[in-house]
Chain A
Amino acid sequence: MLEAVLDSIARLGHRVTSRVQRLGRASVFLGATLLGSGTAWRRFSLIVRELYYTGVLSLIIISVSGLFVGMVLGLQLYETLQRFGSGTMIGGVVALSLVRELGPVVAALLFASRAGSAITAEIGLMRATEQLSAMEMMAVDPVARVVAPRFWSGVISMPLLAALFSAIGIFGGYLIAVVLIGVDEGTFWSQMQDSVDFRLDIVNGIIKSCVFGVVVSWIAVFEGFHAAPSAEGVSAATTRTVVTSALAILAADFVLTAFMFTGA
């Protein structure tokens, strides 16, 4: 009995220490990526190329999701606000929900699922097919040449995609509130203008999406670079990217929200 308890404590300890070790390795890897970023910034075309794959190819999923999220918000919030006789506040509430929370968070979750998983799979497959080893043997640092451009493209894309998500979401809310329900158009926009503060809401939303961009890109490149060189290894790494990114985004969102908006 005692042995079984000790065994499970040992197993738990091993799991915790291996997680901490992995976090340490990921931090060292992030440091190496930042140090190796000089090449990527000097040869900006490397980043531009990745911006297409991570950013431009994410436009459709971000736009369509933003539109639907905005429309759902319009329907749900109007219904709730109407109960308190505040239906005309719909413009401000939709905008605040999107700019402060849903824009950065949902866009980051979608970005992790589409671009993050693609980055992990691509780098993982390069590892499995010895392309990274070949690069090393050609005296080319794969962290500088492969990882850094993908990392920075994610960091740059994320706030832009979040801004687009919020803008299209607001348009979706407008379609429902003004076009479908018949809220006065002037009231819709003026409520929004009164409620949304540039520094407190928009700047904080941008900061959030930048942080999410760093987190998702970091996880994606780390998991891809350290994927086991096999089909199962790449598959597991891709799954880890999506799951870890989602949890990290939600946890980081809580921490950032606590710092940014508590007592405001």
Chain B
Amino acid sequence: MPVAYPGGEKRKRVSSDTNSPLVRISNLNFAYDNRPILTGIDLEIPRGKLVAIMGTSGCGKTTLLRLIGGQLRASAGDVVVDGQNVGRLGHDDLFRLRRRMGMLFQFGALFTDLSVFDNVAFPLRENTDLSEDLIHDLVLMKLHAVGLRGAHRLMPNELSGGMARRVALARAIALDPMLMMYDEPFAGLDPISLAITGELIRKLNDALGASSIMVTHDVPESLKIVDYIFFMAGGKVVAQGTPEDIRNSDDPFVHQFIWGESDGPVPFHYPAPNYADEMVRRGERHA
């Protein structure tokens, strides 16, 4: 599918140190109240790469994205994005950094009172002094890149799930971010929309010269488009590697996840006392 994104295949981005990873996470811990979610996470996201973070539901993947975006503060450890420690940034510096990030939320999070055009124009109007003429051209360009220029007058309630996700993608790239984050971009999509979204994510990453982090459960699509994969379980990174490494991995957790086995390191049963013992005790009580 052709993606017409102006600026060529790859654009070099000015940065303090282009050899260092764009995102470096070290010894990251996070807890909601006293419930630990992430414990001792160490990972690096290289510049220009599309990286997937996979794992079971509730293992802390989305929390990790929110920590990178500065929406949550770590209990311990560091999240460094382009040389800046996100947890130590003040309000203004954090907002300056966020202008160079884009995030696609699980169900798009489009503003329901704004049209498709105004949704994509929103970050441009709020964060730049560009003229309305220029914003108009930029918005149509972004929408063209996701194949929805013709839908710019529609309201969000007139869009299908896949279209809404693509509009949200156009909005997320409106400010040409250096870092794109995707939270479950394939959730609830039909196979065609899923393939389109996957291809768009890959092509936009390359065209923008950005780095991308994708949180997902979708194994086949991820293995097709990403450069590197981190597997998380129980709040830790338990495995990592290229798609090839992952396919050939004999790690029991990776094997269970990739092949969708119902039992394994991630057990089918929620922890409970032995069923037979429980039945015997119950029988004794009623005797």
Given contacts A134-B103, A136-B71, A139-B99, contact A129 B123 (CB under 8 A): no
Query: Is A137 located at the chain interface by the 8 A CB criterion?
Result: yes
> Please, which residues of chain B bring their CB within 8 A of the CB of A137?
69, 71, 98, 101-103
Interface size class of A (residues with CB under 8 A): 10 to 19
| Chain B 136-176 interface mask (CB, 8 Å, partner A; 1/0) | 00000000000000000000000000000000100100010
Query: Is B122 located at the chain interface by the 8 A CB criterion?
Result: yes
Closest Cβ of chain B to A125, distance in Å, is 8
Q: What is the chain B residue whose CB lies nearest that of A134? A: B109
> Please, which residues of chain B bring their CB within 8 A of the CB of A141?
95
In contact, A131 and B109 (Cβ under 8 angstroms): yes
Given contacts A137-B71, A137-B98, A139-B98, contact A130 B123 (CB under 8 A): no
Given contacts A137-B69, A138-B122, A140-B127, contact A130 B98 (CB under 8 A): no
Given contacts A130-B105, A130-B106, A133-B71, contact A138 B112 (CB under 8 A): no
Q: Complex: how many Å from CA A218 to CA B95?
A: 26
Query: Is B107 located at the chain interface by the 8 A CB criterion?
Result: yes
Query: Is A100 located at the chain interface by the 8 A CB criterion?
Result: no
> Please, which residues of chain A bring their CB within 8 A of the CB of B110?
131
Query: Is A145 located at the chain interface by the 8 A CB criterion?
Result: yes
Query: Is B13 located at the chain interface by the 8 A CB criterion?
Result: no
One of B101, B107, B126, B168 near A140 (C-beta < 8 A)? B126
In contact, A131 and B101 (Cβ under 8 angstroms): no
Q: Complex: how many Å from CA A16 to CA B168?
A: 43
> Please, which residues of chain A bring their CB within 8 A of the CB of B107?
129-130
Q: What is the chain A residue whose CB lies nearest that of B119? A: A134
| Chain B 67-99 interface mask (CB, 8 Å, partner A; 1/0) | 001010000000000000000000000011011
Closest Cβ of chain B to A178, distance in Å, is 46
> Please, which residues of chain A bring their CB within 8 A of the CB of B98?
136-139
Closest Cβ of chain A to B33, distance in Å, is 15
Pick from A136, A137, A140 the residue with the most CB of B within 10 Å: A137
Q: What is the chain A residue whose CB lies nearest that of B103? A: A137
Closest Cβ of chain B to A92, distance in Å, is 46
Q: Complex: how many Å from CA A141 to CA B106?
A: 21
Closest Cβ of chain B to A163, distance in Å, is 29
For chain B, residues 212 to 271, give those with C-beta under 8 angstroms from any C-beta of chain A. none
Q: What is the chain A residue whose CB lies nearest that of B174? A: A138
In contact, B71 and A139 (Cβ under 8 angstroms): no
Q: Complex: how many Å from CA A137 to CA B106?
A: 14
> Please, which residues of chain A bring their CB within 8 A of the CB of B105?
130, 133-134
| Chain A 175-212 interface mask (CB, 8 Å, partner B; 1/0) | 00000000000000000000000000000000000000
In contact, A130 and B109 (Cβ under 8 angstroms): yes
Q: Complex: how many Å from CA A139 to CA B93?
A: 10
Closest Cβ of chain A to B180, distance in Å, is 11
For chain A, residues 113 to 144, give those with C-beta under 8 angstroms from any C-beta of chain B. 129-131, 133-134, 136-141
> Please, which residues of chain A bring their CB within 8 A of the CB of B175?
138
> Please, which residues of chain A bring their CB within 8 A of the CB of B106?
130
One of B69, B112, B127 near A131 (C-beta < 8 A)? B112
> Please, which residues of chain B bring their CB within 8 A of the CB of A129?
107, 109, 112
> Please, which residues of chain B bring their CB within 8 A of the CB of A134?
103, 105, 109, 111, 168
Q: Complex: how many Å from CA A134 to CA B106?
A: 11
Given contacts A138-B98, A139-B96, A139-B98, contact A133 B109 (CB under 8 A): yes
Q: Complex: how many Å from CA A129 to CA B69?
A: 18
Q: Complex: how many Å from CA A130 to CA B164?
A: 14
In contact, B95 and A139 (Cβ under 8 angstroms): yes
Closest Cβ of chain A to B55, distance in Å, is 20
Closest Cβ of chain A to B210, distance in Å, is 15
For chain A, residues 138 to 161, give those with C-beta under 8 angstroms from any C-beta of chain B. 138-141, 145
> Please, which residues of chain A bring their CB within 8 A of the CB of B168?
134
Closest Cβ of chain A to B93, distance in Å, is 11
Q: Complex: how many Å from CA A137 to CA B174?
A: 12
> Please, which residues of chain A bring their CB within 8 A of the CB of B96?
139
> Please, which residues of chain B bring their CB within 8 A of the CB of A138?
98-99, 122-123, 126-127, 171, 175
Closest Cβ of chain B to A223, distance in Å, is 20
- Contacts A/B (CB < 8 Å), 5 sampled: A134-B103, A136-B69, A136-B71, A137-B101, A139-B127
Q: Closest 9 A-B residue pairs measured CB to CB?
A: A134-B109, A130-B109, A139-B98, A139-B95, A137-B103, A138-B123, A139-B99, A130-B105, A140-B126
Beyond the given A130-B106, A137-B71, A137-B101, could you list 7 further A-B residue pairs with CB under 8 A, ordered by the A residue number? A133-B71, A134-B109, A137-B69, A138-B126, A138-B175, A140-B126, A141-B95
Chain A interface residues (CB < 8 Å from chain B): 129-131, 133-134, 136-141, 145
